[in-house]
Amino acid sequence: MFATSTHTEEPPVYSSLDAPQIYIEKGEYGKETPDDVLHFINPTQDSISSLALRYSVPSVALRKRNNLYADQLLAARKTLLIPGEYYQGPSLSPEPIDGEAEEMRKAKIRRWMVTCKVSDYDIALLYLDQAQYDVDSAVESYLSDEKWEREHPLTSSSKGKSAPSRSRRKFGTQTGISGQL
């Protein structure tokens, strides 16, 4: 009734293209990693997948290096860092008008201002100039100054102008000729 067949064929071999790809960070402990490459984003042409193909960098590595948790977050950026572990070479994007060094300087200023929650551009320049544009040491310097100011508040002295009086002059009553009569 039932025919038993002996199945001697082997299952198909999986190719390396079908297997899920797991990316491991390149670079070994103790070795110096190369500098990252700055890419200036063109919002009409650039996406995470197009940049990954153009630079031959895994998209996971691009997202991780730039703290991008979704591809849509790329639209809010002007620049993107290409990990130096995967790509060593010149930037494949057109240079901005100000130049790459100026864009890096502006990015550091913005990062310092956001980290320290300070909106005054001149204060950002002051701290970053003192730290030779090392953002971490500039932030540390600012936070230590803030701590010192909290520990040593200004005290008012009796010298100088006195506080304005709280009494208000009443207008409309007993003023003018009718008030004098």
User: What pLDDT does 165 receive?
Assistant: 56
User: What pLDDT does 63 receive?
Assistant: 92
Mention every residue, 6+ apart, whose C-beta is less than 8 A from residue 82. 36, 37, 38, 39, 51, 55, 57, 62, 65, 91
User: What pLDDT does 59 receive?
Assistant: 92
pLDDT digits (tens, 9 = 90+) for 49-80: 999 999 999 999 999 999 998 888 888 888 89
Mean pLDDT per segment of 10 residues, for the chain of length 181 residues?
63 58 50 80 88 93 90 87 90 74 87 93 94 94 94 76 57 56 55
Residue among 23, 26, 79 nearest 51 (CA): 79
